């Protein structure tokens, strides 16, 4: 088996060509999300607990995100936690993913989420102040101007749903929720995602 060197000082590199002219290499690969985490470009965005003290039989916005970064933002998953619903529970809770919403009381009120954490604990990177990340509240209405992208069901407990949403600069997403209960409950919503490396386009 012959060896191909680097053309420098005879130092061998890790590719060999066998007698059948087939190349043999040793390579380490990592996916784009892992690369983003290493570079400090992956984030966990979480509303923190939102308490509902009134009936929840209509859609309410839990979380709004609008990308104003210089590269696409990839949402890989959403997570929701739903506490025990009291009183009459009529059905599973409904979770709506809304594409490019434009207006709504959550956007107007502009309450910051409780957590906007970089997945690389050694990184000081943050999202731009012009990237909008807002937390909803009991009594706030739904967003408008967008279209529903997905519908998910959940019971009391935790939902983790893998998604593959690509948000170019200027686009947005909202998580909306209908608890389908006449009683009270606590809920949170989270977006897990990362900034796409422009070199990978």
Query: Which CATH fold would you assign to the domain 41-200?
Result: Jelly Rolls (2.60.120)
The residue behind tokens 């380490």 is 28
Are the C-beta atoms of residues 135 and 47 closer than 8 Å to each other? yes
Asked whether the beta carbons of 162 and 52 are under 8 A apart, the reply is no
Structure tokens at 33: 């999300």
Give span(s): CATH 2.60.120, the chain.
41-200
> How confident is the model over 16-69, as pLDDT tens digits?
788 888 887 765 666 788 888 899 999 999 999 999 987 666 789 999 999 999
Report pLDDT for 2. Answer: 43
3-state SS, residue 33:
helix
Q: For the segment 111-129, what is each residue's pLDDT rounded down to a tens digit?
A: 999 999 999 999 999 999 9
Q: Average pLDDT of 2-26?
A: 63
SS3 state of residue 38: helix
Q: What is the model's pLDDT at position 189?
A: 98
Q: pTM of this prediction?
A: 0.83
By DSSP bridging, strand 12-17 and strand 157-167 are unpaired
198 — phi, psi (to 5°)? -60, -25
Report, as an integer, the average pLDDT of 150-177: 96
pLDDT reported for residue 5: 45
Residue percentage of the chain with pLDDT more than 90: 65
Taking all residues of the chain, what is their mean pLDDT, rounded to a whole number? 88
Distance (Å) of CA 22 to CA 26, 53, 70, 171: 13, 68, 42, 46
């Amino acid at each position: 088996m012959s060896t191909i060197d680097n053309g420098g000082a005879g130092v061998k590199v890790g590719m060999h060509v066998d007698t059948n002219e087939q190349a043999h290499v040793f390579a380490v690969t990592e996916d784009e999300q892992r690369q983003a985490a290493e570079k400090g470009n992956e984030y966990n965005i979480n509303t923190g607990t939102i308490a509902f003290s009134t009936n929840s039989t209509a859609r309410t916005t839990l979380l709004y995100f609008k990308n104003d970064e210089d590269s696409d933002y990839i949402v890989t998953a959403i997570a929701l936690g739903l506490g025990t619903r009291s009183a009459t529970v009529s059905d599973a809770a409904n979770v709506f993913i809304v594409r490019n919403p434009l207006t709504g009381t959550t956007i107007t009120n502009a309450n910051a989420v409780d957590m906007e954490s970089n997945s690389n604990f050694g990184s000081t990177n943050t999202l731009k102040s012009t990237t909008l990340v807002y937390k909803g509240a009991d009594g706030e209405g739904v967003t408008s101007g967008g279209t529903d992208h997905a519908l998910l069901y959940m019971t009391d407990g935790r939902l983790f749903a893998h998604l593959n949403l690509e948000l170019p600069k200027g686009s947005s997403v909202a998580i909306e929720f209908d608890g389908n209960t006449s009683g009270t409950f606590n809920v949170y919503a989270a977006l897990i995602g990362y900034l796409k490396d422009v070199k990978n386009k």
